[in-house]
Amino acid sequence: MDVQEWEQRHTEAFYNVKETIPYLDGMLVAYNSNIDAIKHLTEADLSRLIGLFKDTEIIERIETYPREIKDPLDFMARLFISMREGKAAEIPTHNSDIHEWLKDHLGFDYARMGGQAGIISNLLSSLELKKVVAYIPWLSQEQAEYFVDADNLFHPKIENGKVFLKHPREAFKPNIGSKVNWIIEYSKNLEVSCDGRNFTVPRDNRLIISSRPKWLRFDVDKEVYEQLDSIFPIDGAMLSGYQIIKEEYEDGSTYKDHVASSVQVIEKLKSLNPELRIHVELTSIQNRIIRKAILTEIIAKHVHSLGLDTVEVANALNVLGHEELSYLVIMKEEYGITSLYQGALQLLKDLSLERVHVHSLGFYICILVKGHPLTLKEHRDVLLFSSILAAAKAVRGDIGNFMEAEVGLEVPISNDGIESLDDFKLYCVDRKLCTLEEFEYGYIYGPDHDAVIIPTKVVNKPKATVGIGDAISAGAFAAMIAKMKQKIS
Ligand code: ADP
């Protein structure tokens, strides 16, 4: 495999896609955003926190092993447990009290946009789309501050029953709490002492308090739903955050109600622009009932495009009844890439999709339905563009504009990625999915599908890794629609 050739293709694709972006009229990005508040715990912070309680209270609470954070003592107990073992943990909290308490008693070093829709909105806005319409059902004033200050970024605002598009900072809902996830990092060798019990933290790690307030709902405001035409023209929608749907709610509604109303929104969007493409970005969903409902009732038949990583491919296959394939994908044995390809293809078929984009470290595979309006070369450019974005995000932590994205061009293609492709080559050629030459281009022609596979750029020491998957899927999906529009213009 000619690495130099792939480097050249990356560069050409980047500038080629950049020219295409203006063909897009707009993109809707919904539903989930939160604030990530990051605090590195110092010795002084810790002794101040301990000083707020009686030592015995903390020790007693540790023994109850709280599974959720209901009050500050639960937090202290789980922090101690996490530090004692040096083990990462993510504990939910269902109200905003602990957020207020942590703000008052600990504070954070810095905060950043979290949540797929929040991250994607900011990225697409930075890529200079004409219009990005974010929609976060729980947009608080504090959350709105984390949206980039750009005049192509909007959010629906209801005024006297009418929907207007304004910048998120002018479109927040008053009197609503914020969904803040606290990430408390601690370092190896921190000395901890409480009630005469001492220990030394064995390794660097972190405790995450993830906010799941009770008011978190997957509803679209009635006015926004009824006046959905007010957010148009848009050519695509990127939807994520379905994982917050719960099986049952206190008001007696169930996931079925929320699934049904989500589908209604999708169908209405499509009726307003029959050419509109819908992408869902999947993330891990612990609850199998919810995971299956999202896949079979929201994504199947209603959505065109799916973006996910390898673990999510395995998880999806598992609830769709493909346990063996799921196992092979997760095991990532020598020829793991072959199972991944088969798994992604299975998802395309089971869920009647047009496109499944799987991102892995070092390569991406995109399975396509036959007869897609773009050529495989165009699909390849779309993936290569997203590889540059991923590299830039890994180098910088954030991408503020196209110039900052160019940093990704300097990052070399991953050797592991090239090796994975080499492992896959013989499988494809043996089964006559492509010739050796076609494989070198990254093109695969199945009997009932096509596919594109590329090696990607990987940053050795990334500044940050959060949200890279979101950037890959968002960049590729936006680029794909832009190219589709360019073709018909
Ligand atoms: P997240 O939800 O935080 O975005 P995902 O697991 O969905 O995480 O996506 C992570 C993806 O980011 C990987 O599949 C890989 O393609 C890409 N990635 C991760 N680390 C790097 C890196 N150092 N350089 C380039 N790409 C990376």
Whether 72 is in the pocket of ligand 1, judged by its Cβ within 6 Å, is no
Pocket test for ligand 1, best of 10, 465, 470 (most atoms within 8 A of CB): 465
> Does ligand 1 come within 6 angstroms of the Cβ of 361?
yes
pLDDT at 226: 98
Distances (CA, A) of 173 to 135, 140, 142, 168, 240: 12, 5, 10, 10, 20
> Which residue, judged by its Cα, is nearest atom 11 of ligand 1?
469
CA of 397 to the centre of ligand 1 (A): 12
Q: Count the neighbouring beta carbons within 10 Å of the beta carbon of residue 412.
A: 12
- Residue 128 Cα to ligand 1 midpoint, Å, equals 23
Decide: 458 in ligand 1 pocket, CB within 6 A: yes
pTM summary value: 0.91
- 470 given a catalytic annotation: yes
Residue with tokens 């829709």: 117
CA of 470 to the centre of ligand 1 (A): 8
Ligand 1 centre to CA of 389 (Å) is 11
Q: How many angstroms does the Cα of residue 468 sit away from the middle of ligand 1?
A: 5
Q: Is 34 helix (H, G, I), strand (E, B) or coil?
A: strand
Residue 489: HSE in the Cβ half-sphere, 13 Å Cα cutoff = 11
The answer to whether the CB of 245 falls within 8 A of the CB of 258 is yes
| C-beta 462 within 6 A of ligand 1 | yes
Please work out whether the CB of residue 308 comes within 6 Å of at least one atom of ligand 1. no
CA distance 157 to 177: 17
Q: Is 470 in the pocket of ligand 1 (CB under 6 A)?
A: yes
- Nearest atom in ligand 1 to the alpha carbon of residue 468 is 4
Specify whether the CB–CB gap between 287 and 325 falls below 8 A: no
Ligand 1 neighbour 311 (Cβ under 6 A): no
Structure tokens at 14: 């980047």
* Residue 284 Cβ contacting ligand 1 at under 6 Å: no
Tens of pLDDT, residue by residue, the chain (489 residues): 789 999 999 999 999 999 999 999 999 999 999 999 999 999 999 999 999 999 999 999 999 999 899 999 999 999 999 999 998 788 889 878 898 999 999 999 999 999 999 999 999 999 999 999 999 999 999 999 999 999 999 999 999 999 999 999 999 999 888 899 999 999 989 999 988 889 999 988 889 998 888 888 888 999 999 999 999 999 999 999 998 899 999 899 999 999 999 999 999 999 999 999 999 999 888 789 999 999 999 999 899 999 999 999 999 999 999 999 999 998 876 668 999 999 999 999 999 999 999 999 999 999 999 999 999 999 999 999 999 999 999 999 999 999 999 999 999 999 999 999 998 999 999 999 999 999 999 999 999 999 999 999 999 988 877 899 999 999 999 999 999 999 998
360 CA closest ligand 1 atom index: 14
For residue 410, what is the DSSP state?
G
Question: Cα of 254 to ligand 1 centre, how many Å?
Answer: 33
Pocket flag, ligand 1, residue 390 (CB < 6 Å): yes
Select from 313, 385, 468, 477 the residue to mutate for testing ligand 1; criterion: most ligand atoms less than 8 Å from CB. Answer: 468
Q: Cβ contacts of residue 169 below 8 Å, gap of 6+? A: 144, 145, 147, 149
Nearest residue (by CA) to ligand 1, atom 23, is 459
Q: 278 - beta bridge partners?
A: 237
Structural contact between residues 26 and 277, judged by C-beta atoms closer than 8 angstroms: no
| Alpha carbon of 107 to ligand 1 centroid (Å) | 29
